[in-house]
């Protein structure tokens, strides 16, 4: 409400996906600056106990969860703790929270396609959006960027590469290329013939970053970098041929911008998401993020190599989708979400993630134009169903089901 703003002058935040890795890092930064930020809304899918702890610490006006049972349980917990936080549930409540008048800034940190409607609702409401939910932009790039422009929203990237590029972009133009760095994940040098045996826990053990399980698997397949090049294409309105990916296993340089005069600007820092989060929260000012200083004298060396598209077929597929105009980006994202979930549930092998995505891309036509949310969600649904069917029909899937039971 306006009186909240008037009485404190603080930035009022809605943090969507507050119980996740990005949500937790955001609250860590926010807690360091109580004079600057006020948490108005928190949302979560299932981790109700974590959400309750966050309510105790931040006293939001509203929380949103997915199901009615969780909402009732959380409401009881809140009342017994004498908290007046309102509880709502379901996708419509999430969109209402993202566009409510009593928040200025929406941190879009839900994972996957589930975050698209609320991220878009924030754009429609003209909010300042701190976007971590890259899948939303991959799915709806043109619609999202048009909505941001038409509705006077402000879009600031939280993804470390895009935040780095944003920091390296000047006002004067002359940008020649964007160079996204990639760590290469945990399997950069693992023997190719052993990739079949990778377990979900191995795939989620990223060498440099601590993240949610879906993005951790995406980093291991490098689909994450593929989604990020598409994200960069829309965020910075950059054609495919001027976006480059380079493997940089140390994750010190988070991305670069090359200019016409061959100056290359890089942003460096520790691999800790609190740096880009603090940057975007305070932009254009700079605030303490809680991250330790980068000690350059302790960096042995920084190395850079071209990505191997045979080792990382998911990156190849994403680059093909980008090259062909992003008409298949909804399909790419949806098939990947289903395949990654099946891998995490030990229904398919690590190497079958790329196979499933490729098969879905081959079977479904790319969308010529998908300017409306309904078209995008329909294409998303078709790709999910197709991916599920392909997984179901995999011979290894059946064998493994038999072996388990």
Which residues of this chain interact with ligand NAD, rule CB under 6 A?
17-23, 44-45, 47, 66, 109-111, 114, 132-135, 159, 209, 211-212, 214-215, 273
Q: Which of helix, strand or coil describes residue 269?
A: coil
Taking the least distance from each CB to Mg ion, the nearer of 5 and 177 is 177
Taking the least distance from each CB to ligand NAD, the nearer of 127 and 254 is 254
Taking the complex as a whole, the smallest distance from the CB of residue 209 to ligand NAD amounts, in Å, to: 5
- Would you count residue 159 as binding Mg ion (CB under 5 A)? yes
Residue 273 binding target from ligand NAD, Mg ion, none, CB below 5 to 8 Å by type: ligand NAD
First CA to last CA distance, the chain: 55
Taking the least distance from each CB to Mg ion, the nearer of 19 and 160 is 160
Count of residues engaged in binding Mg ion, rule: CB under 5 A: 3
Are 333 and 115 a contacting pair, CB within 8 Å? no
Taking the complex as a whole, the smallest distance from the CB of residue 16 to Mg ion amounts, in Å, to: 18
What is the rounded CA–CA span in Å between residue 265 and residue 188? Answer: 26
| Residue closest to ligand NAD (Cβ) | 20
Are 24 and 51 a contacting pair, CB within 8 Å? no
Residue 358 binding target from Mg ion, ligand NAD, none, CB below 5 to 8 Å by type: none
Task: Give me 245's structure tokens.
Answer: 């990916």
Q: Which of 47, 382, 139 is nearest to 390 (CA)?
A: 382
What is the rounded CA–CA span in Å between residue 192 and residue 9? Answer: 56
Taking the least distance from each CB to Mg ion, the nearer of 99 and 160 is 160
Alpha helical stretches, state H, 169-258: 200-204, 213-221, 223-235
Task: Using the rule CB under 5 A, give the single segment among 26-34, 159-167, 341-349, 360-368 that binds Mg ion.
Answer: 159-167
Taking the least distance from each CB to ligand NAD, the nearer of 20 and 307 is 20
Q: Which of helix, strand or coil describes residue 301?
A: coil
Cis peptide preceding 284, ω within 30 of 0: yes
Residue 211 binding target from ligand NAD, Mg ion, none, CB below 5 to 8 Å by type: ligand NAD
Q: Could you tell me the CA-to-CA distances from 295 to 110, 272, 281, 333, 338 in Å, in that order?
A: 32, 14, 24, 37, 40
Taking the complex as a whole, the smallest distance from the CB of residue 188 to ligand NAD amounts, in Å, to: 18
What is the rounded CA–CA span in Å between residue 183 and residue 160? Answer: 12
DSSP annotation of 187 reads: G
Residue 66 binding target from ligand NAD, Mg ion, none, CB below 5 to 8 Å by type: ligand NAD
Are 320 and 267 a contacting pair, CB within 8 Å? no
Taking the complex as a whole, the smallest distance from the CB of residue 29 to ligand NAD amounts, in Å, to: 13
Residue 41 binding target from ligand NAD, Mg ion, none, CB below 5 to 8 Å by type: none
Task: Give me 131's structure tokens.
Answer: 């976007």
Q: Which of helix, strand or coil describes residue 60?
A: coil
Taking the least distance from each CB to ligand NAD, the nearer of 211 and 243 is 211
What is the rounded CA–CA span in Å between residue 163 and residue 156? Answer: 8
Taking the least distance from each CB to ligand NAD, the nearer of 27 and 394 is 27
Site track for Mg ion across 107-146, x = CB under 5 A = ----------------------------------------
Interacting residue ranges for Mg ion, rule: CB under 5 A: 159-161
């Amino acid at each position: 409400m306006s009186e909240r703003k008037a009485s404190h002058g603080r930035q009022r935040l809605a943090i969507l996906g507050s119980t996740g890795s990005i949500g937790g890092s955001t609250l860590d930064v926010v807690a360091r600056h109580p004079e600057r930020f006020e948490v108005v809304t928190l949302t979560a899918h299932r981790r109700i106990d974590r959400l309750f702890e966050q309510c105790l610490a931040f006293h939001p006006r509203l929380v949103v969860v997915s199901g009615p049972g969780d909402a009732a349980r959380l409401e009881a917990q809140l009342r017994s703790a004498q908290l007046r936080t309102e509880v709502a549930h379901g996708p419509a409540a999430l969109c209402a929270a993202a566009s409510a008048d009593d928040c200025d800034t929406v941190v879009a940190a839900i994972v996957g396609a589930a975050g698209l409607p609320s991220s878009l609702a924030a754009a429609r409401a003209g909010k300042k959006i701190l976007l971590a939910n890259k899948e939303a932009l991959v799915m709806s790039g043109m619609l999202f960027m048009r909505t941001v422009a038409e509705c006077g929203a402000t879009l600031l990237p939280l993804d470390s590469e895009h935040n780095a590029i944003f920091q390296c972009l000047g006002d004067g133009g002359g940008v020649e290329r964007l160079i996204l760095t990639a760590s290469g994940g945990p399997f950069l040098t693992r023997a190719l013939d052993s990739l079949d045996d990778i377990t979900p826990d191995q795939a989620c053990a990223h060498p440099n970053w601590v993240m949610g399980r879906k993005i951790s698997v995406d980093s291991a397949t490098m689909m994450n970098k593929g989604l990020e090049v598409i994200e960069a294409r829309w965020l910075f309105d950059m054609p495919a041929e001027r976006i480059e990916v380079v493997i940089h296993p140390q994750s010190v340089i988070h991305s670069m911008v090359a200019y016409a005069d061959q100056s290359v600007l890089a942003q460096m820092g520790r691999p800790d998401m609190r740096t880009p989060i603090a940057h975007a929260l305070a932009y254009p000012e700079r605030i303490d993020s809680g991250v330790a200083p980068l000690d350059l004298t302790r960096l042995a060396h920084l190395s850079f190599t071209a990505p191997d598209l045979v080792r990382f077929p998911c990156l190849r597929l994403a680059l093909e989708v980008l090259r062909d105009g992003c008409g298949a980006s909804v399909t790419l994202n949806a098939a990947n979400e289903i395949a990654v979930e099946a891998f995490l549930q030990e229904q398919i092998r690590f190497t079958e993630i790329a196979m499933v995505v490729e098969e879905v891309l081959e079977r479904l036509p790319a969308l010529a134009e998908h300017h409306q949310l309904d078209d995008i969600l329909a294409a998303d649904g078709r790709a999910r169903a197709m991916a599920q069917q392909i997984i179901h029909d995999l011979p290894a899937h059946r064998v493994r089901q038999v072996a388990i039971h």
